[in-house]
Structure 1
Amino acid sequence: MIQLGVLGSWNGFHVKEYAAMLSGKGEAQLVCISDDNQELAAASAEGLNLAVKSHEELLADPAIAGVIVTAAPDRAAALITEAVSAGKAVLADKLIAVNGADAERVAEAIRAGQVPFALDLPLAQKPVCLAAKQTLDSGRLGRLTGVRIRNAHGGLLKGMLPPHFIEDPTGLLTDIGLHGIYMACLLLGQPEAVTAISSGASASRTPETAVCVLQFKDGLLVTVEMGYVSPVSPFTLELFGTEGMFTGGGYAGSARVKQLSDEDWTDLPLQQANARPLTMLEQWLQDIEAGGDDKEAWNLSQGIVIGRVLEAITKSLEQRGSVSV
């Protein structure tokens, strides 16, 4: 049985999600958790039967083969580096750093450490997003002329968000908003420039809503919308091209496409659970089980891009203008 720890409890929701995913697998289990704030760690540990330890105690434990990093975004880079130095396999939740320089340093440490590593970008493996990628790669839309991604919920209205989310000025950006940002980068690569605007933010409060416009080569503009005050807002992903359009999302999950020559929209079949690719968690566990030094660092290059884009978005919000990536 592979024993795993959790470094950081900034996103307690994701801690419980990972625990649920592991509960159905016989080869691994979460056994302990740590956080700079022990109260947060204790809250996440409740009901999961996890021991609460300090970061140092967790990383020094020889029984722990790997760690899942769900720490505060500005702590992720340091904790990932410390875990790699301790010889632990690492699964990082959505990011490895919040700026480009730190992301480069973390990536270098991961390559040198040669431990199993994966950056978990869960939205990328949702059936709707897989269908969007397949449609884009097929060329049936012609030249891409625009992309719109919207990901929002009403957590701020419903009192679901913990205080440390609300009091973090980057909370929206590095939480639900990051899914749309990394999807844009997965589809199109690294943008050349970013312009971001937010509403309801302050020096000690995360925005209620935000919009990021990512500019790619040839002037392609991608709009990423995010928010904490939209209780009725199903995920939306739209691709516009010179020859057609893809639209996907909704609560149940659906995707369809229409080309210039089509009279009606065509519903696209979505990938079934038994045909989906491995999740990053599953791939990471396989790498731990396999042992050896020859390991692929899954999504590591995307972690560098995400760090650069997050840095540019933060600067854009501060300067209220376009910032090069």
Structure 2
Amino acid sequence: MKRLAILGCWNPYHALDFVKELRSLPGVELSAVWDDDPIRGESFCAQHGIAFEADLDRLLANDMLDGVIICASVNKSAPLAGTAAAAGKPVFCDHLLSASLHAAVEASERIEASGILFGMDLPLTYWPVNLAANEAVQSGRLGPLTALRIRNAHDGAIGGLPAALPDADYGVGADLGAHGLYLMTWLMGTRAASVYATHGRYSGSPFPDNAAYVFEFANGAVAVLESSWAARRSPFSIEVYGTKGAYLGRGATGKHHRLLLASDAIVQCHTDEPWEPAIPAAARESNLSLWLKKLAGEALDKPLAGLAEGLELALQLEAIRLSAASGRKVYLDELDGAG
């Protein structure tokens, strides 16, 4: 039996997703939840029948604890990951290690020095609509890629997100926008050369709630990533274009939810010869499940996302922040190694 704790319930939706998944998996016990806001943590735990632990040091010193899942705010995930690693606890991190390259590098050094198992959650890579997009790319039927567009949006800033979420320093770009970033890297298969970023504040929040990023690659390909907390009934959409064809996928309805079934999405593929990618019936195994298997000593048949993905995402967000603040194009290689 693997005993785990969740560090942070700042994003109650993601934290509850982890709770539900842990409860569905065999050989796993959720021992406790810690949060830096005791009122928030106690409320979350009371609502979902979990023990709350207010003392982080005591929790991490518990020899019966086999690992932690970090679901903290943007600025606190990396320090928590480093602290947990220094205590010898394996770490699984929500989709963002940090939006600060310096903080991500600092945490990665502590994680590497500890030798613990580290995993990252990149949940949109499990979705059938995106797995089918990857199959279309890998098949070669689209030809060399020339463009990618991803839109991920909901009405949180105008329709009732918890107050703490819109006040994240990096706004929607470190929330919905981060999913587009790792999808871009996964599908394009290489790092972008530069980015031009623009941030809007439609709802009046001091932090961005409407964003668009234009990435350019060394070969001239481009990727346009859109994210918003100010859009009602905006289906997730992904478009991949190449010299030989195009892949188009989107949510079947305007409801913002995880597209975990093939029936949740509408897919089209336009190639010289009629062809449709084999869209899986359901989402593939999650990275949390893979991390737990590796934690138990099992061999994996697919790689587990880890520090490389966390650092790349932090680099992209650092470049985005600098571009939006300066109004200029930022080259990613200028920042690499400067954390």
Q: Which moved more, 1:28-37 or 1:197-206?
A: 197-206
Separation (CA, whole Å) in 2 of partners of 1:24 and 1:195: 42
**1:313 maps to what in 2?**
320
The aligned counterpart of 2:176 is 176
User: What's the counterpart of residue 162 of structure 1?
Assistant: 162
In the other structure, the counterpart of 1:299 is 306
Q: Over residues 170-207 of structure 1, what are the superposed CA-to-partner deviations in whole Å (9 max), with x where a residue is unaligned?
A: 13111111111111112223211111111116996332
Q: 1:297/1:127 Cα in 2 relative to 1: closer, same or farther (>3 Å)?
A: closer
Distance in 2, matches of 1:182 and 1:40, equals 30
Q: What does residue 2 of structure 1 align with?
A: 2
* Contact persistence 1:84–1:110 (CA under 8 A): yes
- Compute the displacement of 1:310 (Å): 0.7
Going from structure 1 to structure 2, the CA distance change for 1:311 and 1:203 (only over 3 Å counts) comes to farther
CA distance in 2, matches of 1:71, 1:50: 17
Return the offset for 1:111: 2.6
Alpha-carbon spacing, 1:60–1:202, altered in 2? closer, same or farther (3 Å): farther
- What CA distance in whole angstroms lies between the structure 2 residues aligned with 1:7 and 1:203? 31
TM-score by length of 2: 0.87
Q: Aligned-pair distance for 1:40?
A: 2.1
What's the secondary structure of 1:219's corresponding residue?
Answer: coil
CA distance in 1, matches of 2:10, 2:206: 16
> 2:12 maps to what in 1?
12
Cα deviation for residue 277 of structure 1 reads: 4.3
2:127 is equivalent to residue 126 of structure 1 = yes
Q: What is the CA-CA distance between 1:307 and the residue it aligns to?
A: 0.8
Equivalent residue number for residue 99 of structure 1: 100
> Do the aligned residues in 2 keep the contact of 1:141 with 1:244 (CA within 8 Å)?
yes
Whole-angstrom distance in 1 between the partners of 2:29 and 2:218: 44
Q: 2:281 is matched with which residue: 262, 265, 272?
A: 272
What percentage of aligned pairs have identical amino acids?
A: 31
Partner in structure 1 of residue 259 of structure 2 = none
1:125 CA drift (Å)? 1.2
Query: Where does residue 59 of structure 1 map in the other structure?
Result: 60
CA drift of 1:39 comes to 1.9
In structure 1, C-alpha distance between the alignment counterparts of 2:312 and 2:216, rounded to whole Å: 14
Spell out the pairing of 1:199-210 with structure 2 (5 A cutoff).
199-200=200-201, 205-210=206-211
* Distance in 1, Cα, partners of 2:8 & 2:296: 24
In structure 2, how many angstroms separate the alpha carbons of the residues matched to 1:278 and 1:112? 29
Partner of 1:257: 269
Helix, strand or coil at the partner of 2:149: strand
| 1:176/1:47 CA distance change after superposition, 3 Å | same
Asked whether 1:244 is paired with 2:256, we answer no
SS at match of 1:46: helix
Could you report, residue by residue, the CA deviation over 1:284-316 in whole angstroms, capped at 9, with x for unpaired residues?
111222289xxx863321111101001011111
- Contact map agreement 1:4 1:31 (CA 8 A) in 2: yes
How far apart are residue 226 of structure 1 and its match? 0.4
Helix, strand or coil: the match of 2:143? coil
Identify unmatched segments of 5+ residues in structure 2: 253-263, 333-339
Q: Distance in 2 between matches of 1:187 and 1:197?
A: 23
State how far apart, in whole Å, the 1-side matches of 2:75 and 2:281 are.
36
The aligned length equals 316
Code of the residue aligned with 2:239 in structure 1: it is: E
Partner of 1:85: 86
1: CA distance, partners of 2:59 / 2:192? 38
